[in-house]
Amino acid sequence: MATMDYVNVFAEDIEKLANFYMTVFGFEEIEEMRYPIFRAVKAGRINIGFNAMDAYDLLELAEHRDTSGIKFLLNFTCASKREVDHISQRAQDLGAVAIKQPYKTYYNWYQAVLLDPEGNCFRINRILK
């Protein structure tokens, strides 16, 4: 059976965006994966890769380079509602934009919806019992 080990994000500034996620969530860089157009961070069970825009050409995706709009959603799980609040605020302090401040959803999650400094959407969650 195949497994997922990375989610990759195209970024204008891979260094800055990787550092944003490392600072907000306390993730660590996977230094052996550092390349001129790529950074990776350990993010629990699945790692996050940050590809420079040059990767569009490398992957023969140049015709799909239009990066307007939200095309993915990263989800981060916290141990408590308080941690959701704390991390959400830290993200905003570091340049994230809150789309929805922490709230209880109809499906019984406590979550915040934000955009990172490059406009990528992510959620910070706590599944309530």
d(CA 80, CA 70): 27
d(CA 17, CA 30): 14
Show the low-confidence residues of the chain (pLDDT under 70): 2, 67-68
Q: What local confidence, expressed as pLDDT, does residue 68 receive?
A: 67
* Distance, C-alpha 12 to centroid of its chain: 14
Is residue 114 packed enough to be buried (19+ CB in 10 Å), middle (13-18) or exposed (0-12)? buried
What would the two tokens of residue 69 be? 């709009």
Q: What local confidence, expressed as pLDDT, does residue 91 receive?
A: 98
Residue 39 in 3-state DSSP?
A: strand
Q: What local confidence, expressed as pLDDT, does residue 63 receive?
A: 82
Q: What local confidence, expressed as pLDDT, does residue 57 receive?
A: 86
What's the DSSP call for residue 46? Answer: S
Is residue 45 packed enough to be buried (19+ CB in 10 Å), middle (13-18) or exposed (0-12)? exposed
Residue 24 in 3-state DSSP?
A: helix
* Distance, C-alpha 85 to centroid of its chain: 17
Q: What is the pTM of this model?
A: 0.88
**Beta carbons of 103 and 111 less than 8 angstroms apart:** yes
What's the DSSP call for residue 57? Answer: H
Q: What local confidence, expressed as pLDDT, does residue 95 receive?
A: 98
Q: What local confidence, expressed as pLDDT, does residue 125 receive?
A: 93
